[in-house]
């Protein structure tokens, strides 16, 4: 895995603890956080502008359903 492709917020992304389902989280990690596609993450766009988005905003722009 090429670490240089990783999102710089991956070590402290507030979305991670929201997931009770490890599998679901790993899908997003693989699709966004640990790839060059993190630049297309909805969270990344806001966080890069200095506004950390709500923890339940997903990379695809949807909202994580309340458990």
Radius of gyration of the chain (CA): 11
Q: Is 57 in the site for ligand SF4 (CB under 6 A)?
A: no
Cα dihedral 11, 15, 16, 20 in deg (nearest 10)? 170
Minimum distance, C-beta of residue 67 to ligand SF4, in the bound complex (Å): 18
Residues 54, 48 contacting (CB under 8 angstroms): no
Q: How many residues does the chain have?
A: 67
Please state the closest distance from residue 43 (CB atom) to ligand SF4, in A. Answer: 4
- Determine which residue in the list 5, 17, 25, 33 makes contact with ligand SF4, applying CB under 6 A: 33
Which residues of the chain form contacts with ligand SF4 (CB under 6 A)? 7, 9-10, 13, 15, 32-33, 38, 41, 43-44, 47, 59
């Amino acid at each position: 895995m090429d670490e240089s492709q990783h999102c710089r917020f991956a070590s402290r992304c507030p979305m991670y603890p929201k997931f009770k389902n490890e599998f679901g989280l790993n899908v997003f990690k693989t699709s966004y956080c640990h790839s060059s596609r993190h630049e297309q993450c909805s969270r990344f766009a806001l966080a890069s502008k200095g506004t950390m988005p709500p923890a339940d905003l997903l990379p695809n722009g949807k909202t994580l359903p309340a458990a």
